[in-house]
Structures are given as C-alpha cells and as structure tokens.
Amino acid sequence: MNLQGKIAIVTGGASGIGFASAKVLLQKGATVAICDVNAARIEQAVATLAEVGTVRGFAVDISKKEQIQGMVDSLLAEFSKIDILVNNAGITKDAQFYKMTEEQFDQVVNVNLKGTYLFSKAVISSMIEQKYGKIIHLSSVSAFNGNFGQTNYAATKAAIIGMTRVMGKELGKYGINVNSIAPGSIMTDMYSAVPEEAKQKKLALIPLRRYGDPEEVGNLVAFLASDEAAYITAQTIVIDGGFN
C-alpha cells in the first residue's frame, strides 16, 4: 500500500476514525490534509500528525459549500492535484423518532449526507481531469441494523451506501474508484462515552468479543485508497467484528 506522492483529504480528521485514517495514510507516504469544524482540535491534530509526515489542517464546516471549496482550492494551488478523498466527518443528534425535532434531523442530514455530496463535488472535476481518484465514504452498520434513536443517522448512512453504488458506476470510466466503509463499534472517544452497561451488552453480540480500534479502520481506508484495490469500486465493506 505505497501512497508516495498521493495527495489525500480526510474530513473529520482531528479525532477518532478520521485521525487514525490520516495517520495511516501518512505512514504509507501520502500527503494528508485534514479538516474539522473545531479549529483548536485541528491545530492539535496537525501538531501530532506532523511527526509522521506532511500534513495540512483546515477549519471547515462541511455543510458549508464555500468553506469546502476554499480548502480544495488551497490544496490545488499548492499541490496541483487531489488523489484521495475520505468522507469521514459525521455527527449524531439522537432521539426517538416521535421526539426527534426537525432541527435534529436536518443537522445530521446536512453534515453526514450533504457534506459528503458537497466534498465529493468539490474534488471530482480535478479527479476526472487527471483520470484518477479514490473516494472513500464512511457509512455505518447502523445503515443495516438501525440503532435505536438514530432515525436521522441511520438514514444518512444508508443513503451513503446508495451514493457509493451510483458514483462508482458513473465515475469508473474516468479511473475513479468509489467505495464506502461501514464500521461497527469502534473505540473512539465518542464511543467510549457510552454507558458501560450498554457497551457490555453490545460486546456480548460481537463474535470477536472486542471493539474495533480506529487504526483498523484506517488500514482499510489505506487499502481502498491504494492501487492494490484498483478493481474494487461501488462496494461497501463492513468492519464490525462480525456483529452485523
């Protein structure tokens, strides 16, 4: 999985799966640009990742088209290309359906789904021009099993799987691979905040009897971003210890 000379973007790259994915891509030789809505977290993440390789950081709200375009334009001006896009950024606003507000629904759709659309649109012209690109969307096993209280989240993650299929079919003729990853219970800071009792119940349902590590997802990201995965497109790969 040699990514020397490749330019990658990882959204939501300041923490969790995004940070781990950025780190693995750097270890494989890529230059990586990360973004996050929180400028302070980006600054801290860049300082850490800079010890591994060449990294750039941007404060971006991925529901805002102009902020995305500003980041993409800056990278194209500096590096003249973008080879890899990892659409990882996402949020949750959980509530049972009958209690879920329109605002909660819209916030999750605007970040998780529309943000994925907007970022993909921002990079696609340059990928088509160079006839090469790797786009990796982060879905979730919630798209299949529908976690309680996550009507909005599950809907966006299921929609991303549909987007992956269509984008992969449409963009293959331009040498662009589009795939998605559906993680299960990965031990990020977000997941570690789940009550211990709930975590133990979930653990009992995972055949491998452990939670996933963010870098395990990062390794899968790096594989799909590499030329070793050149004949894989329009697919969703589940990484969940056998839970789904």
Compute how many other C-beta atoms are within 10 angstroms of the C-beta atom of residue 169: 12
Could you tell me how many residues make up the chain?
A: 244
| Three-class SS state of 139 | coil
Whether the CB-CB separation of 21 and 10 falls below 8 Å is answered with yes
d(CA 85, CA 108) in angstroms, rounded, equals 20
Active-site position among 98, 117, 132, 153: 153
Instruction: State the amino acid at position 185 in one-letter form.
Output: S
d(CA 202, CA 31) in angstroms, rounded, equals 37
Task: Output the CA–CA distances (angstroms, integers) from residue 188 to 94, 139, 240, in the order listed.
Answer: 17, 16, 14
> For residue 75, which of 37, 123, 137, 14 has the smallest C-alpha distance?
123
Q: Is 174 part of the annotated catalytic residue set?
A: no
What residues are labeled active site? 153
